[in-house]
Structure 1
Amino acid sequence: MADEIQRLVLPILRDIQARLGRVEGRMIDLEPRMTAQEQHLGGLLTSLPASHDRIDDLTRRLERVERRLELAESV
């Protein structure tokens, strides 16, 4: 009886082991890609405030030009 159970269960366990090996391989492949994505996102988050500062500066300059040319609407 134990031999019959072993004969039935052993192929299933080998299949599970093979599948886990493939999953592990894929995880190992994904790890460097995730690290690269995290670094890229970190760079974007670092440069975002600088972009906002430049946009704010351009907005102030445009408002000043509009006032000097009397193009701004009176509020």
Structure 2
Amino acid sequence: MGNELFKEVTDLTGLPKSLISEELVSILGRVGASPHAVTLEDLRKAMATYLTEVIGPNLNIDDEHDAVIQVQPVSTPMSEE
């Protein structure tokens, strides 16, 4: 599956190929996977790792069953019309 799965994932993001390919290679590398031989399970592990890295710092556990994600506002320039 490997390269075909990698290409399909990068295509489906809709992001520029060079940007997403570089980022996905980096994410896969953190779980010991290669884009040339990536499996669906590798991709799952990589995405779980990535989400933990991205969301983890903003995740607060209020009690043993509830998780609250605090979203930090991002300022973006207003478009002129």
TM range (shorter): under 0.3
Structure 1 or 2: larger helix share? 1
Give the alignment's TM-score, normalised by structure 2.
Answer: 0.25
Structure 1 or 2: larger strand share? 2
Between structure 1 and structure 2, the one with the greater Rg is: 1
Give the alignment's TM-score, normalised by structure 1.
Answer: 0.27
